[in-house]
Amino acid sequence: MPDDYELNVGVDWATQNHQVCVLGPGGERLDELVVPHTGAGLAALVSRLRQHVSDPARIAVAIEVPHGAVVDVLLEQGCHVFAINPKQLDRFRDRHTVAGAKDDRRDAFVAADALRTDRHAFRRLHLEDPQVLRVRELSRLHGELQEEHSRLTNRLREQLWRFYPQLLALSPAADAPWLWALLEQAPTPAQGRRLTLSAVRALLARHRIRRLTADTVHAALQEPPLPVAPGTGEAAQEHVGLLLPRLQLVHAQRTHCEQRLERWLTLLATPAAEAERPEHRDVTVLRSMPGLGRLVAATMLAEASRPLAARDYQTVRAHAGTAPVTRQSGKTRLVSMRRSCNGRLRAALFHWASNAIRLDPHSRAHYDRLRQRHGHARALRGVADRLLNVLVRMLSTGTLYDPNRRHHQIAA
């Protein structure tokens, strides 16, 4: 990276028009323009910047939003793009005004000037690998589908509790596809009592359900119906009839996302991909860790691909929220949980640690030691932090997980 750039550009991002300020090496204002969020507008921005310099690598651009068409165009043209947290940029704004004044032109100037004087506070952006982008999109889409699935099953459970509670004894969460199929065949308790044993047996066989026998399900359907006010059953039945198609669609889409994620993770770990991008072997190392499944691996690659590729343990643990926050002043010292982090990455590590303490004796022993002094959540964060430390060391050496060598890696 050059020590000094010929242009320091600040971009105040917006949905329709972006305010741009161009500063020289000494802070002099060279240009200002408003760029519409269109293909022609972004092309005009690049052309305008190239009028000042011949080499786009001598252009440094500061922006708050670290993704999108503006960032992609500038990176593809060879400019160096830096991102900064809006909260940090708000502090830089106080350098130029104490009155609290704020507008788009001022924000673009503050971003460019802060980049010129405090480049170390910014984060350099790079073009992402297309395969990692696809994994990221599928991972985030799967998370959205999972949330939608949970909302719909909660609504279905609430309706069943109103008029059909005997089914909840068979599937308490109301999230089983076989239960939805049963509701389509017998949407009311009266129809459920008329359902034959052979029909129930065929339904369970079709969905490969073995934890419940046909006799158990049939007996539950024969229970006396819950007494409800007139019209309640019909209303709840209509509500359930509208929920079931949505649940089945979301379930199918979530299954499709999981299959696509598995396919892309396999492609990333193939020898052909490894020859092209050596860091793609990270997938194989990740999936060798105890308790780290397909979805957690995809989330980690999607949300922390850069720090993992750089083998930067401190950055990964900060992004994941496992690094604590220390506040110390005089005799007061407080250590608290890091709340400013990537929520999806935090949730993935929580599930990873929860599985690891069941499957890995080393993680379980570490969890038990932490539980003597801390609560469950704090102990899980400690386990996740230790697992991240081991993972980064394994990525650095290119080795797979070996529980017999674990204590050597931790002590190193």
Residue 265 CB partners (closer than 8 Å, separation 6+): 135, 283, 287, 294, 297, 298, 301
Amino acid, single-letter form, for residue 192: G
Flag whether pLDDT at 96 surpasses 90.
no
Residue 160: inside a domain: yes
**Do 44 and 100 lie in a common domain?**
yes
CB of 34 closer than 8 Å to CB of 48:
no
Residue 41: inside a domain: yes
How many other CB atoms are there within 10 angstroms of residue 145's CB atom?
Answer: 20
**In terms of Cα–Cα distance, which of 370, 373, 156, 121 is closest to 243?**
156
**Do 287 and 404 lie in a common domain?**
yes
Residue 38 has a pLDDT of: 95
pLDDT digits (tens, 9 = 90+) for 220-261: 999 999 999 999 999 999 999 999 999 999 999 999 999 999
The SS3 of residue 339 is: coil
**Do 175 and 151 lie in a common domain?**
yes
What CATH number does residue 142 fall under? 1.10.287
Residue 138: inside a domain: yes
**Do 214 and 315 lie in a common domain?**
no
How many other CB atoms are there within 10 angstroms of residue 252's CB atom?
Answer: 12
Last residue in a domain, options 97, 124, 151: 124
**Do 284 and 214 lie in a common domain?**
no
Whole-model pTM: value is 0.84
Residue 60: inside a domain: yes
Q: Which domain holds residue 94?
A: 7-124
Residue 335: inside a domain: no
pLDDT band at 280 (very low <50, low <70, confident <90, very high): low
Residue 334: inside a domain: no
Residue 139: inside a domain: yes
Residue 1 has a pLDDT of: 42
Residue 329: inside a domain: no
**Do 68 and 156 lie in a common domain?**
no
**In terms of Cα–Cα distance, which of 180, 32, 5 is closest to 103?**
32
Last residue in a domain, options 100, 124, 148: 124
The SS3 of residue 407 is: helix
Q: How many domains does the chain fold into? A: 3
pLDDT digits (tens, 9 = 90+) for 131-162: 889 999 999 999 999 999 999 999 999 999 99
Last residue in a domain, options 211, 226, 259: 259
